[in-house]
A and B are shown apart, each in its own frame.
Chain A
Amino acid sequence: MKSALTDACTIKLENFEGPFDLLFYLIEKNQIDIYDIPINIITEQYLDYLNAMQELDLEIASEFLVMAATLLHIKSRMLLPEKEPTEEEAADPREELIIRLLEYKKYKEYAKVLGEREVKWSKAHYKLPEAIPAVSPENEIEVSPAILRSYMLELLKKYREKRADVTGRMQKILNREKVSLKAKVREILELLGQGIRICFSKVFSIRKKSRLEVATGFLAMLEITKAGYAAIEQPVPFGEIYITPGRKNDDTDPMPIIEDDM
C-alpha cells in the first residue's frame, strides 16, 4: 500500500509515545474535528503508518496493534446497519475512543505546561545549606567537684577493668610461645634418659595440658622416633602409645637440633 502518507512517514518518522499520540498527530495533520472522527480516513492512515514502520523494520509495540484492532472494530460497527437499536447500542461506536482521546489530550496539553514551567523555574538558583550543628540544652550538665570526682572514679574503674582484660589476653599469647617443639623433645628425652617406658597419654594428658602442648608433644615424639632415639608402639588402634628408648639412646651423641618451627 503506497500512499502520500507512507512517503511522508519514511521521510520524517515521528517518534510517538503511544497509539493516542499517533492518533492525535493524524487528527491534527488532517485538521479533523475530534468529536466527529472520519473513522475510515483515520484507520487507513493509522495502518499506513504501521506499515511504514514495518518497512523500516521498526519494532511495533503491541499497544499500537491493539489500537489498530480497535479502529477496525469501530469501522466495521459503523458500516453495519443498526437493527433495532437498544439504549446501549444506540451510542456512537466512536464514543469510547473519543472519551479516551480527550482524556489523553488533557494531560498531553498539561505536559506542555509543565515543560514550560520547568524551563522558567530551572533558572532559579538555590544555596546549599550551611552545616549548623544542633544545640540541645538538655545535653548541658552541671559541673561540681563531686560530680567530676565520681566521673573520674568511674573512668578509673573502667580503665582497670579494661587493663585486666588485656593482661589476661597477653598471658595467653605468652603461654602459647612456651610450647616449643624443642622443649618437648627435651622433655621426652629426659624422661627416656631415666630409662623408663613412657605412656604418652600420661605425660601429655589432655586434662592437664593444653591442646597445643599435647599436639606439640606428639610431634616431638615423632621427631625423636624418626631420629632413632626412641621407639613407639601402639598395641591397639586409638589406644595408648608407649615410648621406649631407641637404638641410639645408648650413644652419647646428643639428639640433633631440630628446627623449632612451632
Chain B
Amino acid sequence: MSSITDTEIIIEAVLFASGDPVPLDKLAEIIGHDRKTTKMIMSNLVYKYQNSPRGIMIRQIDDGYQLCTKPEMDEYIQKLGTVRKRQGLTPAAYETLAIIAYNQPVTRAYIEQIRGVNSDSVIMKLVERNLIREAGRDDAPGKPKLYETTEEFLRVFGFSSIKDLPPLEMNEVPEFLENVPLD
C-alpha cells in the first residue's frame, strides 16, 4: 500500500469486521509492513481516533487492537435498549483482583495472607468471569496453582497491558520501623 491514509482505511475496515482484538502481527501481515512500522501507524491511529469527533475509538489490549464506542457515548447507546448490563463485582473480588494484578502470577496462599481471609470462592468466581486464569504451578511444596489476569481483565478495566497498571503508592515507612536500634 502506498500512502498512510490508504493503510489507515484498510486497518479501520479490518478492525470493524473483526470485532475482536486483532493482533499486531496480523495487522502487519495484512497491510504488508513490519511490526515496528505497523506499531507506529497504530499508535498514530489510536491517537487520531481519540482526538477526532468520532463515536468510536481504537483500544490497545495487550498485543492487539480493537474498535469500540467511546465510553462517553454510553448514555445514547443505552437508548438502543439492547445493551446488557454487566453484573458488578463484590468488594472481595476487587481486592483479590488487585492483589493478583500487581503480583502475578500468584498463589492462593499469597492472596489469603494479604487479605487475611479464605479466598477460595472469590478466586473461583473470578476464573468463572474470565478475569483471571490458572498460570501453571508454583515450584513450592504442594505445587500450588498460580493465577494471572486475562485479556478480559484488561478490557474490563480499560488497560492496554499489565504495564499500564497505575503504580502502587509506596507507603511511607514509619520511622520506628526504619530505625531499628543497632545496639
Contact = CB atoms under 8 A, between A and B. Distances in A.
Interface in A119-162: 120-130, 132
Contact of A35 (B155, B156, B174): B174
A37 B71 CA distance: 43
Interface in A91-116: 91-92, 95, 98-100, 102-115
A253 to B, nearest CB: 82
Contact of A90 (B97, B174, B180): B180
A17 interface: yes
Contact of A126 (B66, B158, B171): B66
A94 to B, nearest CB: 9
A108 B168 CA distance: 11
B140 interface: no
Contacts of A98: 174, 177
Nearest to A85: B181
B93 to A, nearest CB: 8
B97 to A, nearest CB: 6
Contacts of B155: 121
A17 B95 contact: yes
Contacts of B70: 124
B17 interface: yes
A19 interface: yes
A229 interface: no
A20 interface: yes
Contacts of B88: 115, 118
B36 interface: no
A226 interface: no
A63 B19 contact: no
Interface residues of B, number: 51
Contact of A17 (B67, B92, B98, B171): B92
Contacts of A115: 88-89, 94
A90 B181 contact: yes
Contact of B168 (A17, A106, A118): A106
A103 B169 CA distance: 11
A9 B74 CA distance: 40
A18 interface: yes
A29 interface: no
A67 interface: yes
Given A107-B98, A111-B97, A120-B158, A126 B68 contact: yes
Contacts of A123: 71-74
16 contacts: A17-B92, A17-B115, A63-B116, A90-B181, A91-B180, A104-B114, A104-B115, A111-B94, A118-B89, A123-B74, A125-B77, A125-B83, A126-B19, A129-B18, A130-B17, A130-B18
Interface of B: 16-20, 57, 59, 66-74, 77, 83, 85-86, 88-89, 91-92, 94-95, 97-99, 101-102, 114-118, 155-159, 166, 168-169, 171, 174, 176-177, 180-182
